[in-house]
């Protein structure tokens, strides 16, 4: 067996999986203002960017061969409400960013998150009833309106991350009814109630007031994999073009099952907690940065991921 590992040329010849810049999606955090960058303490090397700097980042992505960016807002607290109405404001921060990026570099694909947590005062992904439970159908109505707002702004991929039942079918119907026949939906189909989201919630200023069960009444139980496959199957049946597993590395088995059992485009989100752990180890000198990052990316590909949402996207693209 070792004959096939003897030299780098031979190892390259027989390599089973390959990583390409086209596999990458770069998540960006956006804030109001002009020419401002806010560092995120829990995510070293990642900053919130004003719209003009987000445009510069999109240009950088194109220069590096990264085909898509994903946008997430840090909404001002004064704009947050119980129902999250800012999500459906056609002049909200994300809509302004989409329009500015598309004007400057129309070739880049823009993925827009669909969920209410950046816009609600309570930090949940949906509308609460009097007991604090997230109401499924009222939330879906808001998500459909949010999706239309983002489609009207000019995004390329609608990415519902809320985990409400039936929202993919409702969003697809709205898109068809409004002649958005070619709008892509990437469903966060298997989003787990994970402990790895903390730095992201710092970045967007959401989810810090959650109590009780937190988001466990709508996000998946980390103990379950069959349930994840049922969720993915449901989203595909309702009209999703692509699906996502989140978090990434701790859930490689779910990516593999999706690939083997469903044969559908499945993306991995290397979430903020994964990024933060690696960066902490790099800063301490405990792990080799380039070797580790590239190994982790290859692990996603080996597991069957069609692509990877990662904060390391520009770092990886530059080395490819």
Q: What is the set of active-site residues?
A: 191, 246
Nearest alpha carbon to residue 150 among 142, 74, 57: 142
| Residue 238 to residue 232: CA distance in whole angstroms | 10
Cβ atoms 38, 48 nearer than 8 A: yes
- Is 272 strand, coil or helix? helix
7 three-class SS: coil
| Strand, helix or coil for residue 78 | helix
Residue 116 in tokens? 């209410």
What tokens does 67 get?
């085909």
Buried b (16+ CB within 10 A) or exposed e, 1-37: eeeeeeeeeeeeeeeeeebebebbbbbbbbbbeeeee
- Contact between 61 and 16 under an 8 Å Cβ cutoff? The reply is no
């Amino acid at each position: 067996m070792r004959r096939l590992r003897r030299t780098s040329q031979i190892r390259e010849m027989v390599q089973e999986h390959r990583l390409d810049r086209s596999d990458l999606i770069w998540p960006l955090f956006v804030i109001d203002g002009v020419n401002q960058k806010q560092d995120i303490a829990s995510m070293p090397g990642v900053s919130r960017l004003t719209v003009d700097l987000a445009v510069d980042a999109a240009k950088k992505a194109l220069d590096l061969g990264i085909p898509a960016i994903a946008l997430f807002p840090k909404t001002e607290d004064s704009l947050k409400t119980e129902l999250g109405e800012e999500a459906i404001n056609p002049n909200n921060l994300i809509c302004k960013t989409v329009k500015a990026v598309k004007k400057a570099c129309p070739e880049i694909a823009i993925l827009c998150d669909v969920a209410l947590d950046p816009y609600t005062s309570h930090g949940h992904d949906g509308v609460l009833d009097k007991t604090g439970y997230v109401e499924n159908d009222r939330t879906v109505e808001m998500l459909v309106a949010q999706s239309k707002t983002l489609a009207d702004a000019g995004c390329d991929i609608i990415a519902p991350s809320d985990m409400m039942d039936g929202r993919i079918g409702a969003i697809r119907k709205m898109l068809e009814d409004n002649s958005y026949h070619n709008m892509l939906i990437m469903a966060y189909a298997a989003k787990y109630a994970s402990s790895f989201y903390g730095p992201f919630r710092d970045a967007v200023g959401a989810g810090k007031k959650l109590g009780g069960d937190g988001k466990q009444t709508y996000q998946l139980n980390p103990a379950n994999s069959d349930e994840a496959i049922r969720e993915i199957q449901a989203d595909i049946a309702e009209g999703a073009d692509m699906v996502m597993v989140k978090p990434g590395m701790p859930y490689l088995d779910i990516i593999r099952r999706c690939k083997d059992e469903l044969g559908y485009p499945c993306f991995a989100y290397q979430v903020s907690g994964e990024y933060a752990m690696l960066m902490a180890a790099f800063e301490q000198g405990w792990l080799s940065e380039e070797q580790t990052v590239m190994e982790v990316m290859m692990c996603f590909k080996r597991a069957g991921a069609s692509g990877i949402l990662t904060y390391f996207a520009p770092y990886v693209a530059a080395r490819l």
